[in-house]
Each structure stands twice: as structure tokens, then as C-alpha cells.
Amino acid sequence: MPSIPSNKPYRVGRSRTGLGLFATKPIKKGTKIIRYFGPLLDSKKKKDDAIENKYLFELNDRWTIDGSVRKNIARYINHACKPNAESDVKPRKRKVFIRAIKNIEPGEEINYDYGTDYFKAYLKPIGCKCAACEKKRKRQRAEARAEKARLKAKAERKALKNAEKLAKAEEKAEAKLKARSAKKKLKLNGHSLNGKSLNGKSLNGKPPNGRSLNGKYLNGNSRVRVAGKKSSVRKPPVSAPAPVLEVQPAAISLEAQPTAI
């Protein structure tokens, strides 16, 4: 690192992008901090126009400062999208000063905006690493994580809802299957209906409440008619008693009848 006089309000130190320039003393807003200097390049000269590096500071269409020399301490100042300093360009004098646009506290890194052309050529392809952009990326990452968590929770709720819907559908299908099975058990004309009976047959093997149908006995009582019809069991006919015949004894004659000779 280049040596800096102790009376200067800055020092070169480590930053998130490599080396940077940091304040060692309070710097008030509007103060000229440091000059950006180096050899002047004339764009009309092919030799000068062929030089290319990251430290070229364009003054106008013709003149450019080549700030790559090590004595140019200002070259360590990093870019920031929300800086605390700015470049004060004086084309006629062919000079550039870095001036504070905010009050800068000791230990705070000094930075300024490099401009749109430099940003597009060098910073955008790799991503700007200034504090503002890092904060923005951090916020975007947090928002992305929150959105991912929200979508995951939404997917879980949807999956749970679909599972409940499928369970209800399966339950409904099972109920329909049971109903069809019950209907198959229903048989007419004296066949069983879920263990019950019709036409005088038994219900679950037992007479209904001790009663019977179609003329059979109910609880041992006399036969009854069902639905206004006569009982199918007829009473046996009663035959008339046979007349009693009196046997008359044969008349016996006491007088002996003479036998004819």
C-alpha cells in the first residue's frame, strides 16, 4: 500500500471489493478530499487512444486521465450507487477532485459514483458490490425466501385439501358400493331382505314378535286373517254321528212244534 501522510484524513484499507479508501478524521460535507490524477491521454493520438484499463477518467471527448499510477491514491476509492462523495471535474484545468457530499465519519469508507458507462462496462457484468446493492440483494434474497416459503405453504395446503377431497370421494364411493351391495341382497317373492322375511317366512330365523303370517299361529292364539283374506288353512269337516241300531232279540217259542212225519 502507498504511504499516506498522517495529516491526511484518509487511509487505504481492506473493503468488501478489495482495497478501499477510509476516513481517519471527520470530513465535512463539501470538503475536497483528494485529487484524482495521472498522465493525460490524448484521444487524437493512436498510442494514447490504444491504452485501456479500469482507471481511465475521461475529462472530455479528447482528454482522459490515466489514474493507474500507484501515486494516485484516489484510484482506491470504490464505486457506490449511493455514495458519500462525488467527482468534481474541471475540464479546462484538466483536473478532477473527489469532494464529500455528506458528512463522513472516521472509519467510514469513502466512495463515489463512477458513472453509467463505467458501470455498464465493468460493474454490471460481475454485479455491483457496493453497500446499497448488497443491501438490495439481501432484501431481495429475504423476499425470495419468504415467497418460496409462502408458495411451499400454499402447496402444502393445496395438497392437504386435495387429500381431504380424495378421502371424501373414496368414502362416498365406498358408501355407494355398500348401497349397491345392499340392493343386491334385496330379493322379492319370498326371498330375504337384509335378514328379514316376506310372505310368512322367518325374520332372522324368528317369528316377528311371536306372530305369524298367512294363517299361521301368532303367540299360540287362534288363526287370523292377513290383509282381509281368508286363512288358507281350512277346518276339517265334521261328520254326522252314525245312527245307533237297536238289536231286537229273536222270538223264542216255548211250545215245541211237532215235527211233521
Other CB atoms closer than 10 Å to residue 245's CB: what's the count?
Answer: 6
- Between 187 and 155, the higher pLDDT residue: 155
Q: How far lies 16's CA from each of 78, 128, 146, in Å?
A: 10, 11, 27
Structural domain boundaries in the chain:
10-127, 130-208
Q: How confident is the model at residue 259 (pLDDT cuts 50, 70, 90)?
A: very low
Q: How far apart are CA 79 and CA 54, in angstroms?
A: 12
Q: How far apart are CA 259 and CA 1, in angstroms?
A: 195
Kindly report, residue by residue over 114-156, the tens digit of the pLDDT. 988 888 888 888 888 888 888 888 888 899 999 999 999 999 9
DSSP 38-87: --EEETTSHHHHT---TTEEE-SSSEEEETTSTT-GGGGPEE-SS-SEEE
CATH homologous superfamily for the domain 10-127:
SET domain (2.170.270.10)
Q: How confident is the model at residue 68 (pLDDT cuts 50, 70, 90)?
A: very high
Most confident of 122-136, 213-227, 236-250: 122-136
DSSP-assigned letter for residue 34: E
Whether residue 85 has pLDDT greater than 90:
yes
